[in-house]
Amino acid sequence: MKDRVKHLVSELDEAVKNMRQEPEEGHSWPWEDEHVAGLNLADAAEALILALPTDTWPASWFEEESRAPRTPLSNYEKQLVSELIDRLNL
């Protein structure tokens, strides 16, 4: 387990370095390259999170936040929704 976590930490570090890498002077990264670098960073972070024991994370991170009840729609909002539905022929 320790070796796996060390490996995943190094992968995450490499992904962060790739994200922070600046392009050559006068150039910019193509969107596709930035997108791939972001996906690699997310994948590395997710793999590390899943590899760590669950007791690593505070229980408070997983508690559902209480939300205030949603206020009912106003007559104006109802009219807007109705007009949108009519316009979309739904």
State the pLDDT at residue 54.
81
The structural domain count of the chain equals 1
Q: 34: left (phi > 0), else alpha (psi -120 to 50), else beta?
A: alpha
Side-chain half-sphere CA neighbours of 45 within 13 A: 9
State the pLDDT at residue 64.
78
| CA–CA separation, 56 and 49 (whole Å) | 9
* pTM of the complete model: 0.57
- H-type helices in 1-90, by residue range? 2-20, 31-51, 75-87
State the pLDDT at residue 68.
80
Other beta carbons within 10 angstroms of residue 41's beta carbon come to 19
State the pLDDT at residue 58.
81
Which amino acid belongs to residue 15? A
Structural domain including 51 reads 2-87
Burial (CB count within 10 angstroms: exposed 0-12, middle 13-18, buried 19+), residue 61: exposed
State the pLDDT at residue 65.
76
State the pLDDT at residue 47.
93
pLDDT averages per 10-residue partition of the chain, 90 residues: 89 90 83 90 92 83 78 89 87
State the pLDDT at residue 75.
92
Q: Please state the separation of Cα 47 from the chain's center in Å.
A: 14
